[in-house]
Amino acid sequence: MIRINNMQIYCLLVLVTIPTAFLITTSNVAEQVANNAWLAILAASVPGALMVLMYSYILKKSPGPLPSMLENCLGKVLGKIVGFVYIVIFLAGAAATLGIFISFIGSSIVPDTPLSVYISLMLLVSYYVLKTGLENLARVSELLVLFGLPLSFIIVLISLLHSPDSKNLLPIAYVSFKSFAYGTYEGLIIMSNMIAILILAYFSSNREKIPRILFYVLITYISLIALTAAVTIMLFGSEYTNMSTWPTFKLVRAITIGDFIQNIDAAFIALWILGIFGSISVKWFLACYFTQQVFALRDYRFIAAPSSVALGIMALMLSRNIVELQITLSKIIPLIYGIFYVFIPLILFFILLFKSEPAAAAGTGLKTPAA
């Protein structure tokens, strides 16, 4: 049985949530609540904590990972059908992340390079890591997060040296409740990728501590994304932040310290590409693992090759037009994630809450099995 430690699980969850949110969440939330974007992201910590508790309870009550949870709670036939849909959803999530990568690199870094080059390189590296197994993916994620996460905070904090105007954050909470609620939802929804824990927890060498790990991820996500939103709005104002496609990148490009620290955006690009690579790899692993479980296959790794074709085509379709991509990220993805990453787990939560059969009542999900 494959075993990974909780630090590695923390890193995998950070990769599946933060790299995408770091680049696009500030703009998406600012579209709804303008200068209160940072406040809406902070407010997302409350439903985020409830979501963590929901995932933790599901894990506590279910002895198997998400594919078997669906069959246990919804019945074998319906569970298989919903499980198959989850395969498509995880692939679509990986494709959307790859689409963001392609669009960002193609529009802001090297616009003359064919899109197929970006897709091929990213899929080739992710495919290699996926083929070597979850343990190697976990080790790589550890290196990426231990190096990249502190550097991300440092980059944002350095931006504060450029005379930010705190008045841009005012007036506080001067927005309709409906807009603020949707802005909070936008701040929360990428965090719902933590649904990966309903699979990753069963590879943990110390399952009892999984709820604590989820709260660590929540705190990390809220701290970095809210800080990024606040600093961006203080420097550029809410209107420019809303209108900019990649406001965090604009923030980094503006960093200069004297005459000796300039063009720090090169470090940001390298850092972000590594984060996106990790995010795609984790989501791709979830799709492959789900396929193995739903169709009762012996291994998930051989599924990576054929699924890469579907992943590349989906990403290419998403990234053809930046306007279409923005609509997908701000309208379609939040709806899909809300249904499959929040609403369906909520249904499982209530079913397990009242389920009285021994398998559900045993509470074996958060007990580490004996070696």
pTM here is 0.92
The C-alpha angle 76, 306, 18, rounded to 5 degrees, equals 80
Query: Is pLDDT above 50 for 361?
Result: no
Q: Are 126 and 202 a contacting pair, CB within 8 Å?
A: no
Domains along the chain with CATH numbers: 6-355 (1.20.1740.10)
Q: Which sign does the torsion angle of CA 194, 198, 203, 208 carry?
A: positive
Q: Residue 371 above 60 pLDDT?
A: no
Task: Give the 3-state DSSP-derived string for 232-268, with helices as H, strands as E and coil as C.
Answer: HHHHHCHHHHHHCCCHHHHHHHCCCECCCECCCHHHH
Backbone φ and ψ for 357, nearest 5 degrees, come out as -70, 150
Say what the pLDDT of residue 357 is. 56
Please compute the mean of the pLDDT values over residues 168-192 and round it to a whole number: 90
Angle between helices 134-158 and 6-33 (to 10 degrees): 40
Return left, alpha or beta for 204; rule: phi > 0 is left, psi -120 to 50 is alpha, else beta.
beta
Q: In the numeric block, which tokens belong to residue 218?
A: 């929540």
Residue 301: pLDDT over 50: yes
Instruction: Indicate whether 359 pLDDT > 50.
Output: no
Q: Is the pLDDT of residue 358 over 60?
A: no
Q: Count the alpha carbons within 13 Å of 228 in the hemisphere toward its beta carbon.
A: 34
Total count of residues recorded for the chain = 371
pLDDT of residue 141: 94
